[in-house]
Amino acid sequence: MTARHMSCPRTGDKVPKARAYEKCGHLRATVTVWAFGQVAKGTGVNISSRWHEQYDRMHKSHRKLRTVSRGEGTLSSSDEARDALYHFFQDAYHVRDWVQNDQQSRIERISIKDSDVLCLCADLCNGTKHLKLKESHCWTGDTSTTFTSQSVAVRPGAAGSGQPPQPALYWWTVESKGKQYDAVELADQVVRAWDDVLHEHGLLA
C-alpha cells in the first residue's frame, strides 16, 4: 500500500486518503481530512451525534416518501419508490434504538407495545430489513405483517403535446392481523406517534 492510500479497518479495501470517508463510509473507520494541504488522521472517530439525528432522518425519509407517492419532484422508478417506502419504516423504528443508546437522553427503554402504530412500524422495519419477520422480533403478534401491494398510476404527456411524462403516483397496502392499511397514511401516523412518545419522555417540547 502506498503512502497515498489507506485501508478500511473493517474491509481491508484500499482507498485514496483524500477520499477515504467518501469511499468507505464506515462510521468508525479511520477518517482523513485534507486541511491546508496536510492530512490530519483520527482513528475511531464516530461522526454520529445524538438521538436527534435519527429523529431528523425519519422526518427526511417521511418527506421523501410523501414526495414520491404524490408524484412530485423528479421521476422515480418503481424500485426507487419502494426503497423510499422501506427506508422510512426502517428509519422510523430505529428512533427507538437511538434514544435508548443515547446516554444523554437518560432513557434506558422505550416500550411501544401499547402503540398499534409503532408495533406495525417495528414489524415492517424488521420484515423488510431481514426479508422475513421472525416471531422473536414480532410486535403485532402476526409474523405475516407486510406490504401486500404496490400500485402505480403512470402519467404520460398528452398526445401530441411534446410534454414529458409527469412522475408516477404510488401507493401501497399493508396487511396485519386481517386488517389493511394505506402505507403512506400509516407513515403519517408513525411520525405523530413518535412525537407523542418523545414528548411524554420530555425529549420534545
Domain ranges of the chain: 5-42, 51-200
**Residue 3: what pLDDT?**
54
**CA 162 to chain CA centroid, nearest Å:** 37
**What is the pLDDT at residue 25?**
44
pTM for the predicted model, two decimal places: 0.73
Residue 91 near residue 57, CB atoms below 8 Å? yes
Burial of 155 (0-12, 13-18, 19+ CB in 10 A): exposed
Which residues, at least 6 apart from 42, have a Cβ–Cβ distance to it below 8 Å?
30, 31, 33
pLDDT in tens, the chain (205 residues): 455 665 554 455 665 544 443 444 443 333 443 343 444 444 454 666 789 999 999 999 999 999 999 999 787 789 999 999 999 999 999 999 999 988 888 888 888 999 999 999 999 999 999 999 999 999 999 999 999 999 999 887 777 677 777 889 999 999 999 999 999 999 999 999 999 999 998 998 7
Which residues share a beta bridge with 15?
6
- 194 CB contacts (<8 Å, ≥6 apart)? 55, 58, 92, 95, 118
CA 158 to chain centre: 36
- Per-residue pLDDT at 23: 41
